[in-house]
Structure 1
Amino acid sequence: MKVKALLALSGAAASAAALLAGVAESQSRTRSISQSSASQAAQQHPQIVAEFGGEDSSARSAYVRTVGSRVTAQSNITGGANAFRITTLNSPVMNAFAVPGGYLYITRQLVGLMNDEAELASVLGHEAGHIAARHSKQRQRASILSQILSVGAAVLTGSNELGQLAGQVSQGLVLSYSRSQELEADDLGVRYIAAAGYDPLASAQFLGSLGAATSLEARASGRNDERSTPSWARTHPLSSERVSRATQKARATGRSGGLRNRDQFLAQIDGIMVDDDPRQGVIDGSTFRHPDLRLRFTVPDGYGMQNGVNALSIVGQGGQAQFTGGSFNGSMPNYIAAAFQSVVGEQARVDFTQPRTTSVGGIPAAYSTARVATQSGQVDLTIFAYQWDANSAYHFALITPAGAGLGPFMSMVQSVARLSASEAAAIRPRVIDVVTVGAGDTVQSLANRMAYDDLKLDRFRVLNGLAANARLTPGQKVKLVVFGTR
């Protein structure tokens, strides 16, 4: 997938003045979050959390909420911090987003990139700024989930039910804000964190770090992975001009040099998981492996994967798919019928072909295809199921253009295989380890300890916000990514 071009920021003095006037108005006018928006956000919250790998329920999550409360208390929203709900998501995608009902979300992956509490405050302040300025309502008046969870799959299917299936893959693919909305949220965020006592320069510094992470991930993946650009960078476009502008706004507050709370922050994130959670399976390029389920498969070239609590989703130009499973009652036709019904909904009728039995790598399997009429035409919906053992089965639900059948997914459904005990045991989580620089440590020697096969030095520098010529001093704390235990 092509990476969206980064937004270049420029503008005449007149437009800048108009923007500043808008920010001043957004900041001074007291606004309340409507009961309907809050109610809708509460209803959609469980599904959003599930799509993003579940909620981080550790003490770290409480710490993030405390920082967020300190920042959101400075907003012009009636109720201050009490009007917001802040959730840390167990997601390997670098992302943060807000929904109109006052719900703020941030992923553990994005938190892991940060280097102090002020940087955390800056992201939460920026997202609170989007809510205070009502950007989501200006951008799109559809449901919260259509903003957060919907992708181009609906264009293919034209069906709410089928669109939800393919929409699972949309973690982080929130519609982009406009240039003026991003700048307004930047300005409001700087105001909020400065008023909360934090160093407002943290905003620009973290934007710089995220820009470096964006470039690094694109290099590491060759731009072929759906996650090659951190989602926060896709939905909040970055540029050097934007970083410079945020620096200027911070200095204009006259409060540079405020709180950074670096040691406290590093103590909180010591041990935080980064990248995939093995309990939900790991994505390595085009291969998905799940150590607990003891299975693996490979998606076609050009297709991206995103993981949720209950399912893995795959999307590409030729179709969409979801991999999930359930209990097996001894009848493959009954299992396939139930899988079809779960996709189209209990009230809908679907006519599918008699399941054909086969074997994939010695695993009993069966599949069936149904032609489904949607608002934008007909599509093929295929269920390809595997009897894993006496009590469980797994399946792909595949959506392709009418007549394509398995189409581009033929190689994927044939690639499913069992992991050996040793292969499963070798899959371990990556975690952040905060270490103190010793007398003989260098950037290179510490980078060599990073739990990656490539770009160790670059990854270490980006993770710690270090310039290319930066040197370390004994006693300094830095972050490493190491293998943890399961």
Structure 2
Amino acid sequence: MTSTTVAFPVFCKDEKSSANEKGLHKRLASTVKNINISFISNRMESLMHKIKSFFTYMLILPTLFVCACSTNPATGKRQFTALMSPAQENSVGAQEHQKIVQQYGLVTDKKLNDYVTALGKRVTEDTERPDVQYKFYIIDSPIVNAFALPGGYIYVSRGLLALSNSEAELASVLGHEAGHITGRHSAERYSRGVVTSLGAGILSAAIGSQGASQAISLGSNLYLSSYSRDQENEADTLGLRYMTRGGFAPQAVPSFLYSLQRQSDLDARLSGQQGNRYNYFSTHPATDQRVAKTKAESMQYPQTGINNRDAHLKAINGMTYGDSERQGFARDNNFYHPELGLKFSVPQNFTIKNQPSQVIALDNKGSLIVFDMMGNKEGYAPLDYIRSVWMKETQLQNLEEINVNGMKAATASFPGQINGENVVIRVVAISWKDRFARFQLAIPRGAKAALVEDIKKTTYSFRNMSANEKKTIKPYSVKIIAAGVNDTVKTLAARMPFKEMAEERFRVMNAMAKGTEVQSGALYKIVSE
């Protein structure tokens, strides 16, 4: 059985010839003409009439889209951005900025913010869009990432600042994000996405089905989730233009792309996965062709300009590395959240993974611990909360009240499966301030008593941090040091608080190739407690 896909064309006249445009009209007209409505069923006849009307309407759309194209002053190309004006870009950017602040939080260090803003202004001083007021922010995230919103909002993460090894490398990222703004890529993606949704609505109305609209809406979301290859190439080209106009060395663009790739590969090795879906390349697709193109383009500029490696390193000295106090962080088998003022421990052989909405700890034997928080505005008692709210659809066993370090709590269990393996899942709700601290403990069937007891201890380790702990237990930070005469990669890496791949981490964060050594007197980054 074959299926027919209806495409919703959006192109500008310099992208397709008039002959192609006429050909499209001719094919659509032929489709409409050849629709046969000689069916006995009245229902089928009505359906085919609607589809014929749909195709007739589609004859008009390509002409409307061509008329709505405009020439971008930065790229010189015609593009379809008619459904988001520059004024709307400002409004959308301002609205989305508030969501970014709420989701990630911003770094409040004034000196660090002033540093990034000064660099950003230098890069964006001479763009083709003088109407844009560029604004620069550091998001409080250890993930290496950068992105832009319409209206001039540009964001870099703490993780990206820590990976950068010069002002020129940071300028290359800021220039690239400015390129997305001057290229009006968000407006272009939005306009094309609306057209896709419009087409879905037309098709849905024609056939009387919500399924088509929902299916194509999903496609729109996926389409808008990252930049296209053409948009990335444009932003690379524009970014090179802007950073070199600002006086920075063009070689920093391909060198930092290489560092980004090395960091992405290292993250994958550390997590045992194929990659981090939230890193820079998840929204800025990289290909070998793109990297090669960028390197070739950088060679077309005068090989001059500044790098300012030491100035950048001094600017980020002391910056938080990894998870911050606002996010909570792991130390060995302990999880601390100084901002909330809580702490708990997991068994020694468990690995802690801090995520935006929950903390996960797991071992290599199928055991799993999940911790999160949930509000309790209704004032439920812990036992009632488990039975009537949290697990109300579950057949619970051993439901009982308990006490955790003076706090009222309740627990229950039920059988379940994780990755096809049978487990016993125990849930715990601890009444803590105006919310519940929640644990979900998955224990494999037949687990040894010692393991069961260790996992049980996790629940009873939950407590408030002491004043002294809040004062003394701090996140990791970036520390800039000068290599001594006898220092090596191995000795400097050993000063970092990592048990796994310390030397690889040191090489990646300092952009050092395998086999190279540190130079006496030169500045290097390490991670310090």
- Cα distance in 1 between the residues matched to 2:504 and 2:353: 24
Q: TM-score, normalised by structure 1?
A: 0.66
- Cα distance in 2 between the residues matched to 1:176 and 1:115: 26
State the Cα distance separating 1:246 from its structure 2 match. Answer: 1.3
- Cα distance in 2 between the residues matched to 1:177 and 1:469: 36
State the Cα distance separating 1:40 from its structure 2 match. Answer: 2.6
CA contact (8 A) 2:402 2:410 kept: no
Which whole-Å deviations, capped at 9, do the CAs of 1:375-421 have from their partners, x for residues lacking one?
xxxxxxxx984213xx44325699xxxxxxxxxxxxx9996453476
CA contact (8 A) 2:173 2:239 kept: yes
CA contact (8 A) 2:334 2:343 kept: no
- Cα distance in 2 between the residues matched to 1:49 and 1:397: 28
Q: How does 1:98-177 map to 2 (within 5 A)?
A: 98-140=148-190, 175-177=225-227
Q: 1:385 to 1:114 in 2, by over 3 A?
A: same
Alignment identity in percent? Answer: 32
Q: Which residue of 1 aligns with 2:295?
A: 247
State the Cα distance separating 1:39 from its structure 2 match. Answer: 2.1
Q: Which residue of 1 aligns with 2:507?
A: 461
Q: Is residue 280 from structure 1 mapped to residue 322 from structure 2 by the alignment?
A: no
Of residues 487, 490, 515, the one that matches 1:444 is: 490
CA contact (8 A) 1:384 1:413 kept: no
2:435 maps to a residue whose letter is A
Q: Which residue of 2 aligns with 1:212?
A: 262
Q: 1:24 to 1:78 in 2, by over 3 A?
A: closer
Of residues 221, 224, 231, the one that matches 2:271 is: 221
- Cα distance in 2 between the residues matched to 1:94 and 1:392: 34
Question: For 1:478, what is the secondary structure of its paired residue?
Answer: strand
- Cα distance in 2 between the residues matched to 1:174 and 1:461: 35
Unaligned runs of 5+ in 1: 1-14, 16-21, 144-157, 159-172, 315-320, 344-350, 369-382, 399-411
Higher relative CO (CA 8 A, sep ≥ 6), structure 1 or 2? 1
State the Cα distance separating 1:359 from its structure 2 match. Answer: 4.3
Of stretches 101-110 and 233-242 in structure 1, the one that deviates more from structure 2 is 233-242
CA contact (8 A) 1:174 1:235 kept: no
Q: TM-score, normalised by structure 2?
A: 0.61
Q: Which residue of 2 aligns with 1:290?
A: 337
State the Cα distance separating 1:427 from its structure 2 match. Answer: 5.2
Q: How does 1:70-85 map to 2 (within 5 A)?
A: 70-79=122-131, 83-85=133-135
State the Cα distance separating 1:434 from its structure 2 match. Answer: 0.6
- Cα distance in 1 between the residues matched to 2:154 and 2:321: 20
1:324 maps to a residue whose letter is M
Number of paired residues? 381
State the Cα distance separating 1:91 from its structure 2 match. Answer: 0.8
Q: Which residue of 2 aligns with 1:90?
A: 140
CA contact (8 A) 1:33 1:100 kept: no
CA contact (8 A) 2:147 2:154 kept: yes
Q: Is residue 473 from structure 1 mapped to residue 523 from structure 2 by the alignment?
A: no
State the Cα distance separating 1:186 from its structure 2 match. Answer: 0.7
Q: Which residue of 2 aligns with 1:431?
A: 477
Question: For 1:176, what is the secondary structure of its paired residue?
Answer: coil
State the Cα distance separating 1:244 from its structure 2 match. Answer: 2.5
1:66 maps to a residue whose letter is A
Q: Which residue of 1 aligns with 2:22?
A: none
Of residues 114, 120, 124, the one that matches 1:62 is: 114
Q: Which structure is larger by alpha-carbon Rg, 1 or 2?
A: 2
1:444 maps to a residue whose letter is K
State the Cα distance separating 1:334 from its structure 2 match. Answer: 12
Unaligned runs of 5+ in 2: 1-14, 16-69, 195-213, 215-222, 361-369, 413-426, 441-454
Q: Which residue of 2 aligns with 1:192?
A: 242
Question: For 1:480, what is the secondary structure of its paired residue?
Answer: strand
Of stretches 133-142 and 241-250 in structure 1, the one that deviates more from structure 2 is 133-142
Q: 1:48 to 1:449 in 2, by over 3 A?
A: same
2:314 maps to a residue whose letter is A
Of residues 209, 233, 239, the one that matches 2:281 is: 233
2:169 maps to a residue whose letter is E
- Cα distance in 2 between the residues matched to 1:329 and 1:367: 19
- Cα distance in 2 between the residues matched to 1:236 and 1:468: 26
Q: Is residue 332 from structure 1 mapped to residue 381 from structure 2 by the alignment?
A: yes
Q: Which residue of 1 aligns with 2:461?
A: 418
Q: 1:265 to 1:303 in 2, by over 3 A?
A: closer
Question: For 1:219, what is the secondary structure of its paired residue?
Answer: helix
CA contact (8 A) 1:33 1:77 kept: no
CA contact (8 A) 2:382 2:408 kept: no
CA contact (8 A) 1:72 1:84 kept: yes
